[in-house]
Amino acid sequence: MKTLQKLIFTFIFLAFFTPIFSFGAKENVVSEEKTIIPTRIVSLGASATEILFAVGAGDQVVARTDFCNFPPETSEIPSIGGFDGKTFSLESIISYKPDFVVLFKVMHDHLIEPLEKYGISYYVSDANTIEDVLKEITEIGKITGHEENALALVKEIQLSIENLSLISNKTVYWEVWNAPYMTIGATSFINELITKAGGKNIFADLEQSYPSVNEESIIARNPEVIFIPSDSPVTVEDVKNRNGWQDISAVKTGSIYKINADITSRAGPRIKDAILLINEFLAK
């Protein structure tokens, strides 16, 4: 059970990250004290690692987490452990002699003070929207000396999303967890992906990013499509066999899908891929 709880906790924090960013600041401010381009970067999250490689800073990354598995070249970079700050130590980060560390809000807040004490620059990520992700790509590109690449990438992503013409209008239940039932609300990054893909999140009226909901409300809202992240232990058959779920439209039509969590839960450069993947299932 502890392993499963850790899985869901990790999922929630893996995916959603914008800049609180800084060379020693704790707000959305860039310190003017240091302008040296970092050459030894430690990335503490998968989305950050994807951004670093996408803007051309991959060869500046000296350490990552176990979850940083894309692009394939990341396998050649040493890992300090899991995403959760409890699975690795400050000493393990320092051992790679970093001059820049990418952190994630809440999960890694405890590292800010010691990093400042060591004089190591950092960037705190906390993206919850597509706009946040694009801003983060721009800022990380600038910090790492790849501003032109970053701006070009952002423009490419913006145009690719604007040119999408996706129509579905199917209602969606996205199951983050099932004990208790947890889904996505209006402020979740995934909620925006569903909307861009042409779907309608049945719990978009809830303001929380990851609200807990009761089983009765899921059944009553009768989703036409049910998504389960690929890293969830829940299977399609498990959902079909739940008491009272047989009358749900998605169950009747077999529209229950395990979807790639690496692509859809990371607020990084593969936004278009995530939207197209969701739409692919909605179009069935």
What is the tens place of the pLDDT at every residue in 18-77? 333 444 333 333 434 457 999 999 999 999 999 999 999 999 999 999 999 999 999 999
What is the tens place of the pLDDT at every residue in 189-228? 999 999 999 999 999 999 999 999 999 999 999 999 999 9
Partners of 212 in beta bridges: 182
Q: How far from each other are the two terminal CA atoms of the chain, in whole angstroms?
A: 34
Q: Which residues of 212-225 are buried (b: 16+ CB within 10 A; e: fewer)?
A: ebeeeebbeeebbb
CA atoms within 13 A on the CB side of 146: 22
Give CA–CA dist 50/108, Å, rounded.
18
pLDDT score of 14 more than 70: no
The whole-model pTM stands at 0.85
Q: Where is average pLDDT lowest: 11-20, 175-184, 211-220?
A: 11-20
Partners of 41 in beta bridges: 61, 100
